[in-house]
Chain A
């Protein structure tokens, strides 16, 4: 362990007294994914839209051809460390509890967190609150989800994408500030930090049309940056398109499963009317399993099923 601030030691001690499970931070240094890992990814639009492209998930899958690692993407546009996008009919606090429950149900061994972009608009004034809320999120997840390994991912920069769009200079100052805060948080818990803010030595890797969200090419590049900064240089090899398409399909099916349309009638306050249709929702599970099996097959053979 490196230099650990005193309050961290104290909070560990307090936690140890009350919760033995979470007494010890679960970390991996250097980070690697293990056979049997269940990785849950949470955050805002960046990780939600990753499902459409699935470059990051595919790269991580392909990196370990002989390890069975499964991914569940719980990204939700506009989300923050306070789960502000997840309240639905309830206040964000209930959405936060729901996030805890959803993550817990998935029994994750690794949780990757992609927060900071949306919070950064609050600037310097919002920073202490962000740090407080992020720390609380990690603490709560540790307890709820049986102490998973955390990977804290910083937001990426905004770019100048056209004259009509806002100048990103100020946003980027804030993003940098928030990224540093996330790095400090990771440091303080000995968790893994992935810096997506820092440009490459060869230049900027971001590709975006609106300055803040990535294009498909942007995601392809992001997967390289992400793998190398998480797993080390040259950790990103060529990935098979078949494998990527299978991952995308699995993610689509899982999205129907965990965030179905018509939730008002299926599980919400009008379930007494059409709640009988909710029986269909778990019927996606075998379809997801089928896709997982296909992904495993493609992973083992390097993406070529023929």
Chain B
């Protein structure tokens, strides 16, 4: 079931990419949409190739299943997200001060809003998890 969903999603990315590329050539859309279409096609093809290998190679399938269920891997992934979030807040906070000093007040405001939003999301997540566990 999960594999079917993945392959459908991969095909969806490829079709969406093709659609965007066609739209670019037919309606003379912005170059941005053509690049986005190519990116979607590339992502879809890579995912389909991975899925093919997963289905055709039992050894690879077993390895991937162990890797995805391995509790240390899950712990590392959670820890990595926590570090990434913490570093993001730290970098944004420093950028906010530096941008204000440089007179880039709009950018400084956007950056500080990003920090506030992330801290707000942290507290909401914390409260939800507190109720759950």
A binds B: no
